[in-house]
Structure 1
Amino acid sequence: MNKTEIGALIEKINAYDTIIIFRHVRPDPDAIGSQLGFKHAIQKLFPNKNVYAVGSSVDNLNFIGEMDEINDAIFTDALALVLDTANAPRIDDERYKLCKSIIKIDHHPPVDQYGEINIVNTDSSSTSEIIYEILLNIGYGTDLITREVARCLYIGIVGDTGRFLFNNTTSRTMAIASELLKYDIDHTQMINQMQQRDLTSIRFQGYVLQHFIFEEGVGYIFITKEILEQFNISASAASLFVNSLADTQGIKAWAFAIDESSEIRVRLRSKGVVINELAAEYNGGGHPLASGASVYSVEELERLIAQLKALVNA
């Protein structure tokens, strides 16, 4: 990210009366936090523009803010800002294709540069961290960071760093978090809301901890449609427990697979071995230590897990 890219971004925002902010499907705190944080900042900078945030809602993340519901006609003369989304097929709401111009802002490895402008910084902990840096560098300083902007960006950073436990947490990340806390945000309440689960989800987590398999430094579990039905939990809600395996002594990597009807979605995590290249072999990708993949049969899932074991023990 450099001043030329930021200048081009602001020039585009200046040129449009309608800005629509997108992010990826199955959103996490960073996707929603960066999206809504940027929306609030743009609204402050350009109060006469129409700024919307679109995409599906996730019940346990609604405390960050609400999505906008708008009709197709609004998209046709709009600028699309797509945040935290590595490749175009993962954009939540295909109406981004109706927009006149697309800008990508992301921190994932640049697999698919689908924007006319692509602002990508893989050294950032999160897209929320990138949005903070953009707001500092567009010539208006921290005046654009209101309390509402700060709370959105803070929870995005907290989410993608695993509450500052993951190795993507840098001194710059901590410095930014410290600055955001100066805006009188109730960070304890937000983190509690982010972590809070209903009784059904807690019982599902118990099932995961009792039934995951741990072999050769690798943990894995396959959540079938029958298990989802048994616990009356959605695939998206179940996926929030991907890190339940993380505290297992001796674990080096793990796979959390869920049958989502059209595909088996596999969330891959590692404590050191790079896994995004393996994910790319299975219709996915992501960060070196946190990636996603898609397989279409139990046999294919078994091959992926076998390769993960081989990778960990190479």
Structure 2
Amino acid sequence: MIDEVLNQIGRRQKFLLTSHARPDGDAVGSVLACGEILRSMGKQADVVLSDGVPYIYKPLPFSETVVVSPTVSADYDAAIILECDSVHRTRIEGLERHYLINIDHHSTARPFAHVNWIDPSACATAEMIFRLAREASVKISPEVATCLYTAVLTDTGSFCFNGTTERTFALAQELVRAGAEPSRIAQNVYFANPYSKMRLLGSALSNLHRDGELAWMFISRDEMDRTDAVDEDTEGLVNYALAIEGIEVALFFREQADGRYRVSLRSKGRINVASVAERFGGGGHECASGCAMEGPLSVATERILMQFRLLDGKLLVH
């Protein structure tokens, strides 16, 4: 399928690149790298994200070129949608009238586009973009390597998730050889959090609960307002619950303005949390997934806990 993606890119000149709303490290790193790779191929490439680049990823090369918009007004020869299971999840209107190329590595990915390159064996969509550059004979610059390494680092849970293999480290080595600086990238991602996020973490930890091998915590809209936090400050907070000894699955519930809850699900590897997220219209990785649920919180937590109780002894939940 990579050959067909390159074929369609070769036949076109003007591209729009995007990913899902509230983009994570793989979404941002992959879309920035892919845009620069297309430019190296002599193409015009505009990167548009409905929510823009999160704070911790703003140091990435090319981040200042990203257009933040909920609509597409210009005409493009094609739109390349990365790490996203539908046009709807981009939260950008007007994409559907373009020729669509879908590049994704999630096991829950859907073939919604005209061309769909889906490879669940890839550790991140960034790995697929690296392969795309190699097949197109495009040299990986230090800037592109930095974007791709950031994507791989974050989407593998700092090389902790299942699916991290010898191939993953070989890719990381290639990116370091191309100019990515692991220590600087790690400091930008993990040691440059805004003050508001740390205050929000305190609130989240005060709402920490445990049931057997499962832990969960939540944040209300009032707590978001009190800590002056924004939505992107919730990124990664679920991992603090997963870090507890004896916990196999962690959940993080974030109340939205409409009263619904965004739920982040994480696993240490024994439990496939994507299978549970899919039951509520979500998806993602086996070790890192997400979904949305109706409130109130007591109902949302009980519904999702019940799904884990039905895992026939795989997870010890009372």
TM-score by length of 2: 0.90
Q: Distance in 2 between matches of 1:232 and 1:73?
A: 33
Q: Equivalent residues in 2 for 1:112-191 (5 A)?
A: 112-138=110-136, 140=137, 143-191=138-186
> Which of 19, 26, 39 is equivalent to 2:22?
26
Tell me whether 1:252 sits opposite 2:248 in the alignment: yes
Q: Cα distance, 1:211 vs. partner? A: 2.6
Query: Is the contact between residue 33 and residue 147 of structure 2 (CA under 8 Å) also seen in structure 1?
Result: yes
**Alpha-carbon contact 1:125-1:173 (below 8 Å) kept:** yes
The residue number in structure 1 matching 2:101 is 103
Higher helix share: 1
* 2:306 corresponding residue in structure 1: 306
Cα distance, 1:127–1:192 mapped onto 2, change above 3 Å: same
Aligned-pair CA distance for 1:132: 0.8
Q: Percent identity?
A: 25
Q: Mean alpha-carbon deviation: is it higher for 266-275 or for 108-117? A: 108-117
Are the counterparts in 2 of residues 218 and 309 from structure 1 also a CA contact under 8 Å? no
Query: Do 2:204 and 2:218's aligned partners in 1 also have CA atoms closer than 8 Å?
Result: no
* Cα pair distance change 1:16/1:104, threshold 3 Å: same
CA–CA separation in structure 2 for the residues paired with 1:309 and 1:214: 14
Aligned length: 303
- Answer yes or no: is the 8 Å Cα contact 2:102–2:112 preserved in 1: yes
Q: Is the 8 A contact 1:16 1:78 kept in 2?
A: yes
Q: Give, in whole Å, the separation in 2 of the partners of 1:301 and 1:283.
A: 16
Contact 2:207/2:218, CA 8 A, preserved across alignment? no
Report the residue type matching 1:20 in the other structure.
L
SS at match of 2:146: helix
- Contact 2:26-2:151 at 8 Å conserved across structures: yes
* 1:266 maps onto 2:260 in alignment: no
Aligned counterpart for 2:226 among listed residues 222, 230, 243: 230
Residues 106 and 119, structure 2, Cα contact 8 Å, conserved in 1: yes
2:44 aligns with one of 25, 39, 50: 50
SS in 1 for 2:164: coil
CA contact (8 A) 2:87 2:95 kept: no
Equivalent position of 1:287 in the other structure: 285
Deviation at 1:39, TM superposition (A): 0.8
Structure 1 169/236 Cα, relative in aligned 2: closer, same or farther at 3 Å? Answer: same
8 Å Cα contact 1:40/1:149 also seen in 2:
yes
8 A Cα contact 1:125 1:157, kept in partner: yes
For the residue of structure 2 that corresponds to 1:251, the secondary structure is coil
Distance 1:78 1:69 in 2: 20
Residue 278 of structure 1 pairs with residue 276 of structure 2: yes
Distance 1:301 1:214 in 2: 12
After TM superposition, list the pairs within 5 Å mapping 1:194-209 onto structure 2: 194-195=189-190, 196-209=192-205
Unmatched 5+ residue regions in structure 1?
none
Query: In 1, distance between residues paired with 2:83 and 2:72?
Result: 23
Contact 1:126 1:157 in 2 (8 A): yes
1:102-131 deviations in Å (ceiling 9; x for gaps)? 010000124421111110110111000111
Output one character per residue of 1:211-259: Cα deviation in whole Å (capped at 9) or x when no partner.
3101111111121111111211122322331212121011010110101
Distance in 2, Cα, partners of 1:72 & 1:254: 37
Q: Report the 3-state secondary structure (helix = DSSP H, G, I; strand = E; otherwise coil) of the residue aligned with 2:160.
A: coil
- CA distance in structure 2 between the aligned counterparts of 1:284 and 1:167, rounded to whole angstroms: 19
* Matches of 1:114 and 1:219, distance apart in 2: 35
Question: Does the CA-based 8 Å contact 1:235-1:259 persist in structure 2?
Answer: no
Matches within 5 A, 1:86-101: 86-99=85-98, 101=99
Map 1:75-90 onto structure 2 (within 5 A): 76-90=75-89
Q: Distance in 2 between matches of 1:270 and 1:240?
A: 13
Q: How many Å separate the matches in 2 of 1:231 and 1:13? A: 45
Q: Would the alpha carbon gap of residues 210 and 104 (structure 1) be closer, same or farther in structure 2, given more than 3 Å must change?
A: same
Distance 2:31 2:73 in 1: 21
Distance (Å, rounded) in 2 between the aligned partners of 1:54 and 1:103: 15
- With over 3 angstroms needed to count, the CA separation of the structure-2 counterparts of 1:242 and 1:112, relative to structure 1, is same
Q: Distance in 2 between matches of 1:308 and 1:226?
A: 29
CA distance in 1, matches of 2:68, 2:12: 19
Task: Name the structure 2 match of 1:217.
Answer: 213
SS of equivalent to 1:144: coil
- Distance in 1 of aligned mates of 2:216 and 2:80: 36
**Preserved CA contact (<8 Å) 1:23 1:92:** no
